[in-house]
Amino acid sequence: MSTLEHIPSSLTITRPDDWHLHLRDGATMASVLPHSARQFGRAIVMPNLKPPVTTTADAVAYRERILAALPQGMTFDPLMVLYLTNNTSPDEIRRAQDSGVVQAVKLYPAGATTNSDLGVTDLKNCYKVLEVMQEVGMPFLVHGEVTDPEIDIFDREAVFIERVMRPLRSAFPALSVVFEHITTKDAAQYVAEAEGPIAATITAHHLLYNRNEIFKGGIRPHYYCLPILKREEHRLALMTAAASGDERFFLGTDSAPHMQGAKEAACGCAGCYTALHAMELYAEAFERAGALDKLEAFASFNGPAFYGLPRNTDTITLRRESWTLPASLPMGDGEVIPLNAGEQINWKMA
Ligand X SMILES: NC(=O)N[C@@H](CC(=O)O)C(=O)O
Distance CA 80, CA 63 (A): 7
We find the least distance from the C-beta atom of residue 20 to ligand X, in angstroms, to be 7
Q: Which of 198, 225, 243, 329 binds ligand X (CB under 6 A)?
A: 225
Q: Which of 58, 157, 254, 280 binds ligand X (CB under 6 A)?
A: 254
Which positions ≥6 away from 150 have C-beta within 8 Å? none
Strand bridging mode 315-324 / 10-14? antiparallel
Provide the sign of the torsion angle of the four alpha carbons 155, 160, 163, 167, taken in this order. Answer: negative
We find the least distance from the C-beta atom of residue 220 to ligand X, in angstroms, to be 14
Determine if 226 is a binding residue for ligand X (CB under 6 A): yes
Nearest 10 degrees: CA dihedral of 176, 243, 231, 328?
-90
We find the least distance from the C-beta atom of residue 154 to ligand X, in angstroms, to be 15
Q: Which of 36, 54, 56, 113 binds ligand X (CB under 6 A)?
A: 113
Which 126-165 positions form the footprint of ligand X (CB under 6 A)?
Answer: 143
Distance CA 250, CA 301 (A): 8
Pattern of binders to ligand X over 264-293, x per CB under 6 A? ------xx----------------------
What does DSSP assign to residue 110? Answer: T
CA-to-CA dists, residue 67 to 29, 64, 101, 256, 257, angstroms: 11, 5, 13, 19, 19
We find the least distance from the C-beta atom of residue 257 to ligand X, in angstroms, to be 8
We find the least distance from the C-beta atom of residue 224 to ligand X, in angstroms, to be 7
We find the least distance from the C-beta atom of residue 348 to ligand X, in angstroms, to be 25
Active-site annotation, residues: 254
Q: Which of 69, 306, 43, 324 is nearest to 191 (CA)?
A: 306
Q: Which of 33, 120, 208, 256 binds ligand X (CB under 6 A)?
A: 256
Task: Identify which of residues 223 and 301 has a Cβ nearer to ligand X in the complex.
Answer: 223
Instruction: Give the three-class secondary structure for 320.
Output: strand
Q: Which of 11, 13, 21, 22 binds ligand X (CB under 6 A)?
A: 22
Task: Identify which of residues 114 and 302 has a Cβ nearer to ligand X in the complex.
Answer: 114
Determine if 48 is a binding residue for ligand X (CB under 6 A): yes
Task: Identify which of residues 7 and 214 has a Cβ nearer to ligand X in the complex.
Answer: 214
Task: Identify which of residues 114 and 312 has a Cβ nearer to ligand X in the complex.
Answer: 114
Q: How many residues bind ligand X (CB under 6 A)?
A: 11
301: how many CB neighbours lie within 10 A of its CB?
19
Determine if 114 is a binding residue for ligand X (CB under 6 A): yes
Determine if 318 is a binding residue for ligand X (CB under 6 A): no
Determine if 103 is a binding residue for ligand X (CB under 6 A): no
CA-to-CA dists, residue 3 to 128, 290, 307, angstroms: 54, 9, 36
Peptide bond into 51 cis (omega under 30): yes
Task: Identify which of residues 83 and 301 has a Cβ nearer to ligand X in the complex.
Answer: 83
CA angle 290, 293, 295 (to 5 degrees): 95
Distance CA 238, CA 218 (A): 26
Which 155-214 positions form the footprint of ligand X (CB under 6 A)?
Answer: none
Task: Identify which of residues 271 and 303 has a Cβ nearer to ligand X in the complex.
Answer: 271
> 163, 234 in Cβ contact below 8 A?
no
Task: Identify which of residues 268 and 290 has a Cβ nearer to ligand X in the complex.
Answer: 268
Determine if 221 is a binding residue for ligand X (CB under 6 A): no
Determine if 102 is a binding residue for ligand X (CB under 6 A): no
Distance CA 242, CA 325 (A): 25
Amino acid at 19: W
- Secondary structure tally for the chain: helices H, strands E: 13, 13
Binding region for ligand X (CB under 6 A): 22, 48, 113-114, 143, 225-226, 254, 256, 270-271
